[in-house]
Amino acid sequence: MTRLSPTMTTIAVEDAEGALASALPILLMAHAGERWRDVVNVMRLPEQGVAAAWLTVYQKAETDLRNAWAAFERLQQDLDEAICDWYRFTPAHRMAIVAGLPWARS
């Protein structure tokens, strides 16, 4: 396990194309709003073998999350269509609903 120090400005990663190099930006991004001095006291870099396993799990979880979100959005659209069908909205009404209320647009 690699320990970071408050005086570090660079981190040497032996396998620049490997899992640790890929995992490092993700780990650092988790602490993006924090001060470096606070991060180094809690963050530990995993060994390369552990980083590879973690990165595999992380990428699968990220893919599963994206797929679940896409499925949720499809279900939401299907529900919107069913409600529009129930109320017999015209295509013009449906376009207005999709566009949103003028005062609610960002």
- 49-98 residue pLDDT tens: 777 888 888 889 999 999 999 999 999 999 999 999 999 999 999 888 88
Say what the pTM is: 0.56
Say which residue, 30 or 6, is predicted with more confidence.
30
- Res. 16: pLDDT tops 70: no
Domain count, the chain: 1
- Interatomic CA distance for residues 99 and 101, integer angstroms: 7
- Interatomic CA distance for residues 38 and 88, integer angstroms: 58
- Interatomic CA distance for residues 20 and 61, integer angstroms: 18
Share of the chain above pLDDT 90, in %: 30
- Interatomic CA distance for residues 101 and 87, integer angstroms: 18
Where in the sequence is the domain holding 75, given as residue range(s)? 2-104
pLDDT reported for residue 54: 81
pLDDT reported for residue 87: 95
- Collapsing DSSP to helix, strand or coil, 15 comes out as coil
